[in-house]
Structure 1
Amino acid sequence: MTTALDRIHLPAAARTVRRLRLRPDGAFAPLGPRAVRLTAPVGALDLPDLAPGAREAVAALAAGEHTEEELAALVAARDGDTGLLRWQLARRRLGTAGMLEHSVHLALDGPDGATGTEEPLARLRPVGRGAAEPGPTPDPTGQVKLSRFATAAVEDGALLVRSPGSPLAVQLTTRAAGLLAALAGWTSPAALAQLPGALPLDAVRQTLRLFAAAGLLAYGAPGAEPEAEEQRFAQWTAADLAFHSRTRRPTSVAGYGGTYRFGDRFAPEPASPAPFAGEKVALPVPDLDELTRTDRPFTEVLEQRRSVRDHDEQAPITLEQLGGLLYRSARRRQTFTGGDGQELADRPYPSGGAVHELELYPLVTSCAGLEPGLWHYATDRHELELVSAPSPATAQLVKSARESCLMQTDPQVVLLVTARFGRVMWKYETVAYPLVLKHVGALYQTLYLVGTAMDLAVCGLGGGDAADFAAASGLDYFTEGTVGELVIGSRPPTLRQDVGVPRREARR
């Protein structure tokens, strides 16, 4: 049923057409008179024994969009009715392998029945590894709504709607994009077709069929919504679940791991960033041989490790102590060139692929032997470079760290951890940012253990503002930004017990 507004905007003979084609990022290659190979980012599929008509049908799918009826007629004309069953088996293999795209079009035929134009509405696109087959057409009166985990984004000039963990996405045109807003609350296909300017009922149902295949719909009723009421769903935000699913479910993406997707567009970044123009301060180098003999045993250090939020204001951390912490935790031991041509590094903490994209910026408020300001630790030269003198921007970073750490006074040093994103993203796809966060965790623990061995106060923070760091440093937010923060200082003789984990002081 259509409304009066529908009749204004659509010809009376508007009908829905379903088409399919080989995914555009796939390729068709003949292997012989009866064999073809289809390739895509998700892999390859060989069809070794196709009848002539079936082979033409596969070639037709590689060349453009066709209806199931058009393909069946092509096969029957060459292979006869007996060839249709074999074609259906081959066609099913294409869908199961994720090689096909399904689309819904609105055919605008003329009043006299003459064939007119087709307006595309929606397309079911494989974006990962998995079957790309729509399910049954939804009931006209069934209650549905858009999943609260669905996300829409522009990719390659198209609006794609995705659900976390699904290898499929739905591409919408302007004509069908209004369904997203209409599906914000519980509704039905029949109700959607009654909205002003809406699509005909069959077009709505066929589009929602693609939505269902991509996992974009929630089912239930008002007051009975599993996504909102069951803890296993309710505890997730859309952003968190999308991040988790995308990075921990490789089948939901086409590229995963070291794919070098930017290898042919950009050169790899060097292991060291460009030096800052400010004052340079050489740091003392600790005697590792002496430390090997005198350091406390590892188990003792591990057991004594804790977050210390108090600093000794009477005896602030010294330049030698800060330098020793940085040297033992993050200095560069060596560089070498990987097989991919990227300059790699070796530091005391682990880094995936040895890319070591993390940089450290001590923001100093009180350090004996070092002027206050924002400094950069040059890991290759073991020296500090002045990035910025104290300013309102650096003061905001100190204030945020103090409040986050529940400190009563300003921390002596806020150790800002940044990532030079291009070092990782040049090689890794999908897992690049999660890999950065894993590296931050490894660095945190290294700083904690070394700081404990040196009897320093160390406390890692759970969050920070990368925009504030960009303002203080002048660095581009998208090129290098903060991904972690710690407060560092001298350890006072007596610690407060009103913050952190209450426990007795470890034995010395």
Structure 2
Amino acid sequence: MRVRLSRLLIFTSRNGQLVCDDPVNHRQFALRPAVWDLLPHYTVWAQPREADSHVVKQLLESGLLIEEGSPEHRREDELGPWRTWGTAATYFHLATRTHDSERFVTAAEDTARLREKGEQEPQPEPFKRYGTEPVTLPAPDPLPMELTQALRRRRTTRRFAARQPVGLRQLSTMLHWAGGVQHRVDLPGFGVSLLKASPSGGSRHPIEIYPVIRSVENVRPGLYHYAPDVHGLEPLREEPLSDEEVLHWCGDQSFVARAPVLFLYTAVLERSAWKYPMGRTYRAIFAELGHVSQTTYLAGTALELGVFFTAALRDETVERDLGVHWNTEIPLGVSGFGAPDGEEAERQAAMLDGGTAGFSYPRDAWDGLG
């Protein structure tokens, strides 16, 4: 019999102890120094040493060691895409994967818990403000397209008209639907909850929007923060961002620098964590990003704007430029939009009329087609 340390385990230290975290079974073990000392011998398949036999038996029973040819061995050899996604992604998924025996609290239990928590720890503010004088946006325009039509027309656009700025009302309308407050609900004992066009778990709405204005009528180019409580733009940097800066943010994708407007999305973690103090909440935040991104797509389509989304970010750079820290507010992704160039508009129109389907490429060295 040969045994090996399970490759799904994570080791850390806590309160002066060495701890083994088993994400598959949601268990944690404090390890004695003697156990820790023998583990390096079993990082590869090895016959148990006679002196280790008693401890090895315990480690096999606990799942820290696996036996060659066992179901646990086969499971680790059949990781599929998780093998290339790496240890961190695999660990997070397994640690937040619910089991058959998982117990979910009832609505009544959750309400009682939140009422008690609210007395000791008021919920975080639903709005983030920087304190700069916001640029007031005009009232949004009605969307001039039915939902069915917008859904059918929705495409990703990576080619934009070079000299056609986004209109101020178009920007206002895009922000209104992407992050604007549609209703406020006053819940006694809980405070105000917001309702927006995109759904949010527990109505927490952790997502913030930072518009990067590059070419918009009557708005100075720069970096702004959208303040949905007043439907305005808080200036953070009232000077144009260079192509090099936005390209570096977004993985050097050339089409990003050609969009007249970028919406940079972040999440304020404490809003969601206040109500949902479990790791699975991190999954929900990225699901909400998908909701907001799709709303941006559909609103842009209704306004006859081309839209794209990318999650290819250099997080550390974005955090530094926004002045945020990953332990409180995290970058999520970017939407960009503007008028598509003539050739791109014709291509998309032809697809609607039954023409050849295809993707929007920037036609340059970045995509390898230029």
TM range (shorter): 0.7 to 0.9
Alignment partners' CA distance in 2, 1:465 and 1:371: 25
Contact 1:375 1:385 in 2 (8 A): yes
Alignment partners' CA distance in 1, 2:35 and 2:187: 48
1:505 maps to 2:351: yes
1:175 maps to 2:21: no
* 1:359-438 equivalences in 2 (<5 Å): 359-390=208-239, 395-401=244-250, 403-404=252-253, 406-407=254-255, 409-428=257-276, 429-438=278-287
Other structure's SS at 1:333 match: strand
Q: Which amino acid in the other structure matches residue 136 of structure 2?
A: A
Contact 1:418 1:481 in 2 (8 A): yes
Following TM superposition, by how much is the alpha carbon of 1:297 offset from its aligned partner in structure 2, in angstroms? 2.4
1:240 maps to 2:85: no
The residue number in structure 1 matching 2:126 is 271
277-286 or 264-273: bigger deviation: 264-273
Gap change, CA 1:319 and 1:253, over 3 Å in 2: same
Following TM superposition, by how much is the alpha carbon of 1:307 offset from its aligned partner in structure 2, in angstroms? 0.6
Gap change, CA 1:256 and 1:308, over 3 Å in 2: farther
Alignment partners' CA distance in 2, 1:346 and 1:361: 20
The residue number in structure 2 matching 1:285 is 139
The residue number in structure 2 matching 1:491 is 340
Alignment partners' CA distance in 2, 1:255 and 1:353: 15
Gap change, CA 1:504 and 1:402, over 3 Å in 2: farther
Following TM superposition, by how much is the alpha carbon of 1:234 offset from its aligned partner in structure 2, in angstroms? 3.9
Following TM superposition, by how much is the alpha carbon of 1:393 offset from its aligned partner in structure 2, in angstroms? 9.7
The residue number in structure 2 matching 1:201 is 52
The residue number in structure 2 matching 1:150 is 9
Q: Which amino acid in the other structure matches residue 55 of structure 2?
A: V
In the alignment of these two chains, the number of paired residues is 343
Following TM superposition, by how much is the alpha carbon of 1:327 offset from its aligned partner in structure 2, in angstroms? 0.9
State the Cα deviation string for residues 144-191 of structure 1 (Å, max 9, x = none): 21222211233455432223321322221333223343322122321x
1:316 maps to 2:189: no
Alignment partners' CA distance in 1, 2:38 and 2:245: 44
Alignment partners' CA distance in 2, 1:412 and 1:143: 61
Q: Which amino acid in the other structure matches residue 505 of structure 1?
A: M
* 1:207-246 equivalences in 2 (<5 Å): 207-209=58-60, 212-213=61-62, 215-220=63-68, 226=74, 229-230=77-78, 232=80, 234=83, 237-246=86-95
Superposed CA RMSD: 3.4
Following TM superposition, by how much is the alpha carbon of 1:372 offset from its aligned partner in structure 2, in angstroms? 1.7
Q: Which amino acid in the other structure matches residue 430 of structure 1?
A: G
State the structure with bigger RCO (CA 8 A, min sep 6), 1 or 2.
2
1:347 maps to 2:196: yes
Gaps of at least 5 residues in structure 2 are 355-370
Pair member with larger Rg:
1
Alignment partners' CA distance in 1, 2:307 and 2:160: 9
Gaps of at least 5 residues in structure 1 are 1-141, 194-199
Gap change, CA 1:299 and 1:152, over 3 Å in 2: same
Other structure's SS at 1:189 match: coil
Q: Percent identity?
A: 25
Following TM superposition, by how much is the alpha carbon of 1:391 offset from its aligned partner in structure 2, in angstroms? 8.0
Q: Which amino acid in the other structure matches residue 2 of structure 2?
A: Q
Alignment partners' CA distance in 2, 1:504 and 1:184: 58
Gap change, CA 1:413 and 1:320, over 3 Å in 2: same
State the Cα deviation string for residues 58-82 of structure 1 (Å, max 9, x = none): xxxxxxxxxxxxxxxxxxxxxxxxx
Contact 1:374 1:394 in 2 (8 A): no
Q: Which amino acid in the other structure matches residue 335 of structure 2?
A: L
Following TM superposition, by how much is the alpha carbon of 1:458 offset from its aligned partner in structure 2, in angstroms? 0.8
Other structure's SS at 1:460 match: strand
Q: Which amino acid in the other structure matches residue 146 of structure 1?
A: L
1:166 maps to 2:25: yes
Following TM superposition, by how much is the alpha carbon of 1:375 offset from its aligned partner in structure 2, in angstroms? 0.5
Alignment partners' CA distance in 2, 1:496 and 1:175: 68
* 1:22-171 equivalences in 2 (<5 Å): 142-155=1-14, 157-171=16-30
Alignment partners' CA distance in 2, 1:435 and 1:177: 36
Gap change, CA 1:450 and 1:333, over 3 Å in 2: same
Alignment partners' CA distance in 2, 1:231 and 1:403: 31
Alignment partners' CA distance in 2, 1:265 and 1:456: 47
Contact 2:249 2:317 in 1 (8 A): no
Following TM superposition, by how much is the alpha carbon of 1:397 offset from its aligned partner in structure 2, in angstroms? 3.7
Q: Which amino acid in the other structure matches residue 352 of structure 2?
A: A
Gap change, CA 1:179 and 1:496, over 3 Å in 2: farther
The residue number in structure 2 matching 1:36 is none
